[in-house]
Amino acid sequence: MGGGPGRRRGSARGGAAMRRELRPPGAIRRPGGLIPAPWRLIIGMEQEPATVAVDRRIADLAARQHGVVGVRQLLALGLGRGAIEHRVRAGRLHRLHRGVYAVGHPRISSKGRHMAAVLACGPDAVLSHVSAADLWELLDSSASSVHVTVPSGGGRGRREAIVLHRSRGLSEDEVTVHDGFPITSVARTLLDLAATIAPGPLKRAVERSLIVRRFDLRAVRAVLARHPNSRGTRSLSEIVANLHDEPSLTRSELEGFFRDLCDEHSLPRPQINQVVEGLTVDFLWSDHRLIVETDGRAVHGTPAAFERDRARDAKLMVAGYRVVRFTYRQIVHEPETVARTLLALLAAPLAA
């Protein structure tokens, strides 16, 4: 009789061991019973794609924004604040400013630093002043601080390495998007520069805007008219009024302007820098025996250059070529007149 209960206890222990042995490897227990490993994998696969999809959208956004994202954007993608903090702790997001993160790693480019500054200053913030000029290739800036403009009364308080400007008159056509950045237009950037830098660097910035083909005279005049009392209006107006002074262009830059003119007016493309009668000419339409030379003042403005150019032209004309010269001012400021002249010359019959 004494052995019966012992046997029952042993039987219970044996039954538990048997149940453990019968549990499939990798199975997990839920209130409804065991879930075998294959089904557990399927359940995990059903839950995983949502997280993967969100992280993929975050990565895509960061790629468009030079590696950084803002908290508003993360919330809009469906992340909760807890999920954001989890990614910070896991090292997948790295705080740069309050509410701004680098994605994947904390090392970001100069453009990433600029984008982070814009995101840190609120949804209406735009890159401006010397920082915008740097992005537009008007100035080379090595400044450690990023300049950002917000509407008057907008934006947030002081931020490290950010110079915050507030403007009551930032109209829609003075703001655009360039290289993923919300940024002041070239015209507005020049006006902001005029209020903050000396006339010499300002003139070089205007000249550079011409060289990189970003200058729009009508847009600049519109900005000047809209802000007659701005600190920079007078300086910029004086420079614009004297735009007949040619910037320091290289030969390749002036030729680039002329190639763009041909493309924009649907002119047949000429050959470039061809040798004719032992002379290298700028542009040649060989079938029409037409040569165009582009004259920059720095190269062609001296008395010696004037004489040399006339001797070249005479030699080419004796060989049966027509030679026409266009100046920087004609190419940049009178492109329609240049295009009409070329169309007429290309359409004219050749002399027998």
- Single pTM value for the model: 0.60
H helices of the chain, in order, are: 3-22, 37-64, 71-76, 81-89, 110-120, 129-135, 186-194, 199-211, 217-226, 233-241, 251-264, 297-300, 303-318, 328-333, 335-347
Which range among 96-100, 175-179, 325-329 shows the weakest confidence by mean pLDDT? 325-329
Q: Any idea what the Cα angle at residue 24 is, between residues 22 and 20, rounded to 5°?
A: 40
For tokens 């998007």, the residue is 177
Cβ atoms of residues 97 and 117 within 8 Å? yes
Q: Is 30 exposed, middle or buried (0-12, 13-18, 19+ CB in 10 A)?
A: exposed
Cβ atoms of residues 211 and 253 within 8 Å? yes
Cβ atoms of residues 252 and 328 within 8 Å? no
Domains in the chain, ordered, with CATH?
35-106 (1.10.10), 109-243 (no CATH), 251-347 (3.40.960.10)
Spatial CB neighbours of 29, under 8 Å, sequence gap ≥ 6: 35
Higher-confidence residue of 50 and 283: namely 283
Strand partners, 175: 184
Q: Across residues 160-183, what is the average pLDDT?
A: 91
pLDDT at 158: 63
pLDDT in tens, 110-157: 999 999 999 999 989 999 999 999 999 998 877 789 999 998 765 555
**Cα distance between residue 139 and residue 60, in whole Å:** 30
Q: Is 160 exposed, middle or buried (0-12, 13-18, 19+ CB in 10 A)?
A: exposed
The percentage of residues in the chain with a pLDDT greater than 90, rounded to a whole number, is: 52
- Within 10 Å of residue 180's Cβ, how many Cβ atoms? 12
Q: Across residues 341-350, what is the average pLDDT?
A: 92
Please give the full DSSP string across 165-223, using - where no structure is assigned: EEES---GGGEEEETTEEEE-HHHHHHHHHTTS-HHHHHHHHHHHHHTT---HHHHHHH
**3-class SS at 160?**
coil
Radius of gyration of the chain from Cα atoms? 34
**Cα distance between residue 194 and residue 32, in whole Å:** 74
**Cα distance between residue 195 and residue 2, in whole Å:** 104
pLDDT at 156: 54
